[in-house]
Amino acid sequence: MTDPARMVELWRGGLLESWHTGHAAVWSADGGLVEAWGDPGTVIFPRSSCKMMQALPLLETGAGAGLSSQRLALACASHQGAELHTGHVGRWLSDLGLGEADLRCGAHMPADTAERDRLIRAHEEPCQIHNNCSGKHAGFLMLSQHLKAGPDYVEIDHPVQQAVRTAFEEVTDEASPGYGIDGCSAPNFATTVAGLARAMAFFAGASTGGGVRERSAARLVEAMIAHPDLVAGEGRACTELMRAMGGRAAIKTGAEAVFVAIVPEKRLGIALKIVDGSTRASEAAIAALLVRHGLLDPEHPAARKRLDAIQTNWRGRETGILRAAPGFP
């Protein structure tokens, strides 16, 4: 087993203060593994970076055949819980003849400042539609209705999750060694970093003129690229970096510092995992890989916010810099 590679460093006063290590792989839909850092065979939980895989059965079964690109983007989203997001999800549930109580994701305070402040002023509690995974769960409910299955769609033996596992294992081309329960209560199937990159390469190479699975994957990628605001939200790395790339790639973060990219024009999939779970490091690392492959201008504000990022203190004084480690990428 190869040790994790040093990927991101924080410098202060001319001294290396801290660093983050991880594993990464770049996979070609045509030629397999292109390059890797650390050990691409490391088994990880992809967390929310795999939401497009979890959404595949929604389209493959025909359950979501008529869905708008906005709803497909939300099925792949880890959104902020802004009115933009909750409005779409609420209407989707209503169209299914369902409501917030039918969700199984749990409730948490939205990350969106305006919506959080509105709830506080109104003395209201957040509901499950505010959950960052509520779009994915609306898709699960739609699929469950189509399969005429029961209401507890997050259970591992439910037909929805069995369909997700089948799709997941087929596009990663790996038998998953197991699963964990995600923050939203859905099973999260484990795979290797290489398997995750391989799956993203499948999405990158998918064509609307291909078979059912390819067409489904292509629609999901197109929806993510068309609606970066729905995939995450204002101020978030997924949204800002997709906008900065002008539609050239779809990217998605996952908890505990996982990040993936789907690059249709180059038929490449990218996956990375920062060992210590640092979000600042995963955002810097994905930005560095996007720059490496000519997709992201390193001087774009969205890139500079995360890579070669000047650190300042509360008085605005420069204190250090967060940058890619020598040799990465």
Characterize 173-205 residue by residue with b for buried, 16 or more Cβ atoms within 10 angstroms of its Cβ, and e for exposed.
Answer: ebebeebeebbbbbbbbbbbbbbbbbbbbbbbb
Question: Is 90's pLDDT higher than 80?
Answer: yes
Question: Could you give the percent of the chain with pLDDT greater than 70?
Answer: 100
Cβ neighbours, 10 Å, residue 159: 18
pLDDT of the residue at 212: 98
68 Cβ contact list (under 8 Å, min separation 6): none
The pTM for the full model equals: 0.97
Contact between 229 and 84 (Cβ < 8 Å): yes
pLDDT of the residue at 52: 98
261 Cβ contact list (under 8 Å, min separation 6): 200, 249, 250, 251, 268, 269, 270, 286, 289, 290, 295
What is the arithmetic mean of pLDDT over 272-278?
98
The phi-psi region of residue 113 (left if phi > 0; otherwise alpha if psi is between -120 and 50; otherwise beta) is alpha
pLDDT of the residue at 274: 98
CA–CA gap between residue 85 and residue 229 (Å, rounded): 9
Eight-state DSSP code of residue 44: E
Backbone angles phi, psi at 34, to 5 degrees: -95, -45
Residue pLDDT, tens place only, 154-190: 999 999 999 999 999 999 999 999 999 999 999 999 9
Residue pLDDT, tens place only, 253-265: 999 999 999 999 9
Q: What is the mean pLDDT of the chain?
A: 98
Contact between 60 and 142 (Cβ < 8 Å): no
CA–CA gap between residue 260 and residue 44 (Å, rounded): 13
pLDDT of the residue at 264: 98
pLDDT of the residue at 260: 99
pLDDT band at 73 (very low <50, low <70, confident <90, very high): very high
What is the arithmetic mean of pLDDT over 292-305?
98
What is the arithmetic mean of pLDDT over 119-137?
98
Q: What is the DSSP string of 47-108?
A: GGGGHHHHHHHHHHTSTTTT--HHHHHHHT------HHHHHHHHHHHHHTT--GGG--S---
Sign of the Cα pseudo-torsion (30, 260, 290, 203, in order): positive
